[in-house]
Chains A and B, each alone.
Chain A
C-alpha cells in the first residue's frame, strides 16, 4: 500500500486530479518521497504512538507469557469455581476453578496468531481478487465474482468441517493445529474484502488521474499497484481491522465444536465461549478475555486509521 518513489506520470496524474493537497510549502519540498513523508507524519500522530505501544505490549505478552504470570493456567480446582477477583487471582476464577488472569495471558498467543494471520491472509486473497476483478472487469470479473459468490454461500461450518477433516495424525485422530485453523478461517473469510475492494477499484479506475496515467503509457501493473490500489485501499483496511476481532471469535466456534485448536491449548475465544454459558453466575470470566479482545481490536483499528491517514494522498 505504500509508495516508495514517485513516478513522473504519477506526480502528473495527481497534480491533474488535484488529489495532492495543494499546500504550496509542502509541494515545494520535493526531496522527500511520499513514503518518507508519511512516516514522518505517522510518528508524530498520538493515535499511532498509542496503538503502537499497545500492539507491542500484546506481542510481548504473546511471546513471553511466563514473564507475566507464574500460575499454571491449567491447574484448576472446582473449590474455587466462579470466585471473584482477589489478591491471589487478579481476574478471579472461572467455572472450572481455573485462574482467569493466567488463562488470559496464556491465551494471547493463539488468539493473536489466529486473528492477525487470518486477517492478513484474507486481506491478501480478498484484496487480490477484488483488484483483479474490479480493474479488468469483463470475464475476469465474471469468473472471480462467481468464485466469490460460491464461497459466500458456503456456510463456515461446512467449509470448516471439510477442511479440518483432513488434518489428522498418523492414527487418524483429529489434530488441527493453529495454522490449520488460520487456513480454514482465511478460506471462508476473504469474500467481503474482495467485494469491498472490487467496488472501490471500480470507482477509482474511472478517476481522471488513472486515465491520465494510462494515456501517458503506464503499464497495467503500474497503474494497478501505483495508482488504483493506494487510492482504493481505505475500505479494505477498515473491514480488515474490524474483522480481526470477529476472526478471534470464530476460532472459538471451531474449538467448541471439537474441530478447532485442541485442548490443552487456550485462546480468548475459547475462554469467552466457555464463560458465556455461565454469565448468570458471574461476569468476570467473560469480561477479562473480552476486554483484552476489545483492546486488541481497538489498537489495530487505531493503527489502521493512522497508517491510512498518513499514506492516503487525498487526506494530506
Chain B
C-alpha cells in the first residue's frame, strides 16, 4: 500500500534548505522565533523505508533518514537553485564535461576519508545493471552507461536473457585527484548541477562496497548525524549528532529517533498524545481537526506533487480537445480542495509545479476555469460524449477514492454526463491495462519531481515515448521545444523554450491539471523550528527542543 501511495521520491539534498538556513535561520533568531534550546532528543514519524543504500533509495521515507546521515554535493537555496555543499565547486565549459571538486577534510562516520573515489565507486555501484538499484536510471545520462546495462536483445518478453554487462565502471567517470573527479555526459545538459542534489549521488565508503547487505542495516555516511545501533525494522532508526561534521548546518539536537508507523492515523494520535514530536504528513481524516488540536503547530509548506487526470489517446471518445476542455471546465477545483482535502493541496491551472523556475500561474486559462454553462455549451458544440458516460480510473491503494468520487459527482451534476469512479487494486494493474490499451476511460496520475527543473515535469510526462507518458501523448513541436531547452546554453534560455512547450500543452489539453501538493505537517509542544523541504522531508539540522 505504501509503495504506491508514496509514489517515488528521488530525493536530494541533505540540506535542501541549508543555504536558506544560513540566512533564514538567522533572521528567525533575530525575530525571536528561534527560541529553541540546544541539545536534547527529538522524534520524527516515518513509514518503514524500503531501502537504505543511497543509490537504491528513491522514496521519501528512506531519503528522510539518509538526509540526516549524508551531505549532498549540492543543496538548494530558497529559489530552488543549486548551491555547493559537500562540493567545493561544480564547473563545466560545454555542459557536457563536468568537473566536481569536493571540500577537503571530510570523513565518513567510520573515520575513513571522503575522496573522489568514494563518489565514483558509489555511482558505479548504482549504475551497474545487475545491482538493480532503484536509482539506476539517474546514471543513464553519463557516458558508458550502456556497457553496464546491456539491452535485452529480444525485449523483456523474449526468451533470451540480457547479456552480461561488458564493464563494471562508467567510462564517463574519472578520478582526477584525491578530491576531484569528472563526469562526461552522453549529451550536453545545462541543468546537470541541479540534478546532483539527490540521494543517489551520495558517496559510498569502502565498507559499503565490501558488504552492501550489512552496510544497509547501519548505513555509514558523511552527514550531520550518524546512525546509532542498527535499523530496527518496522520500529525505529536512531541517529545521533556527528561530532566530526564539518558542514555549516550543525544540528541543534543531540539525537533524532525516526519512529516507524504503519498508519498515519496512529502517528497523528501519538503526536497529539505527546509520544512523538513531528508528523510529516497529517492524514486526510484528521485535517479538519488538526487546526483545532495543534493551532500554530499545524503548518503547511509547498511540495512538488502534481495531480492530474489523463486521457488515453487510444480511446476515441476523448479525441477532441474541446471534449477534454469541457470536462476540465465542469470541475470545481476550489470546492474539492476545500471540502474534500481541507486545503492540504491547492488547485492547479498550469502543467508545471510552482516550485520550479519558469512556473507561470494559470497558463491553462479558460480551459481550467470552473464554468458549468460554458462547459455544457462547449461539449454540445463538440457533439457530446459517446454514450454520455465516462469513468475515471484510479488505484484503490493510494487514497484517491474520495476526490475521484467528488470529481465524478461534479462532472455528473455540471455536465449532465454519467460519471463513475473506477478503482483498480494497484497502480501496476492500471498501468498494465493502459499499456495494453484495455482501460477505457480517463485515469488519474500523479507526479513528484526528481529534481527542481521545469524539464522534469515536461520531459517524462509529455514527450513522445516519455518514461511516464502512459497515455501516449505525442506532438512533434512540443518534443522539439523540450529537446532544444535541454541543450540550451543557459538556464534562462532553456526556461524560455520550455515555457513555449507548455503553451503547446494548453492548446492540446492532453491531461487535466487538478492540484499541486503541499506538505501538511504538525508537531508537538516539545519541539520548535520544524521545517520541511520540497521533498517532504523534515529538516533535522534545524529542529530544536522547545
Contacts and interface: CB of A to CB of B under 8 A. Distances in A.
Interface of A: 74-79, 81, 95-97, 161, 171-174, 256-259, 262-264, 274, 277-281
Contact of A258 (B336, B406, B423, B433): B423
Contacts of B90: none
B38 interface: no
Given A79-B335, A173-B433, 4 more contacts: A95-B402, A257-B397, A258-B425, A263-B405
A286 B409 CA distance: 21
Given A258-B424, A263-B420, A280-B285, A78 B335 contact: yes
Contacts of A96: 402, 405-406, 409
B339 A81 contact: yes
Nearest to A78: B339
Given A173-B433, A264-B420, A78 B336 contact: yes
5 contacts: A96-B402, A172-B436, A257-B397, A264-B420, A280-B285
B219 interface: no
A257 B285 contact: no
A95 B421 CA distance: 16
Nearest to A98: B409
Nearest to B423: A258
Interface in B398-430: 401-402, 405-406, 409-410, 412-413, 420-425
B370 to A, nearest CB: 12
A280 B286 contact: yes
B29 interface: no
B345 to A, nearest CB: 15
B423 A171 contact: no
Given A76-B409, A263-B422, A173 B440 contact: yes
Nearest to A164: B425
Contacts of B285: 277-280
Given A78-B340, A264-B420, A257 B288 contact: no
B438 interface: yes
Nearest to B409: A76
B420 A172 contact: no
Nearest to A282: B288
Given A257-B397, A277-B284, A173 B420 contact: no
Contacts of A173: 433, 438-440
Contact of B422 (A74, A262, A277): A262
A258 B429 CA distance: 11
Contacts of B340: 78, 95
Contact of B433 (A74, A78, A172, A280): A172
A274 B285 CA distance: 11
Contacts, number: 70
Contacts of B438: 171-173
A105 B433 CA distance: 35
B462 to A, nearest CB: 26
Interface of B: 284-286, 288-289, 332, 335-336, 339-340, 395-397, 401-402, 405-406, 409-410, 412-413, 420-425, 433, 436, 438-440
Contacts of A77: 409, 413
Given A96-B402, A173-B438, A277-B285, A258 B396 contact: yes
Contacts of A259: 396, 425
B425 to A, nearest CB: 5
A78 B409 contact: yes
A38 B305 CA distance: 67
Interface centre among B285, B335, B410 (most CB of A within 10 A): B285
Smallest CB-CB A-B distances: 8 pairs: A258-B423, A258-B396, A76-B409, A277-B285, A258-B425, A78-B339, A172-B438, A81-B339
B205 to A, nearest CB: 41
Interface centre among B284, B420, B423 (most CB of A within 10 A): B423
Contacts of B405: 76, 96, 263
Contacts of B339: 78, 81
Contacts of A161: 425
Nearest to A281: B288
Given A77-B413, A81-B339, A171-B440, A280 B289 contact: yes
A277 B425 CA distance: 19
A257 B396 contact: yes
A263 B421 contact: yes
Contacts of B401: 256, 274
A63 to B, nearest CB: 25
Nearest to A95: B402
A278 B335 CA distance: 18
Contacts of B409: 76-78, 96-97
Nearest to B426: A258
Nearest to B424: A258
A274 B289 CA distance: 18
Nearest to A97: B409
A75 B439 CA distance: 26
B192 to A, nearest CB: 41
Nearest to B410: A78
Nearest to B438: A172
A161 B428 CA distance: 14
A171 B436 CA distance: 10
Nearest to B405: A96
Interface centre among B332, B339, B440 (most CB of A within 10 A): B339
A256 B422 contact: no
Nearest to A260: B423
B288 A280 contact: yes
A169 to B, nearest CB: 10
Contact of B424 (A171, A174, A274): A174
A164 to B, nearest CB: 9
Contacts of A97: 409
Contacts of A280: 285-286, 288-289
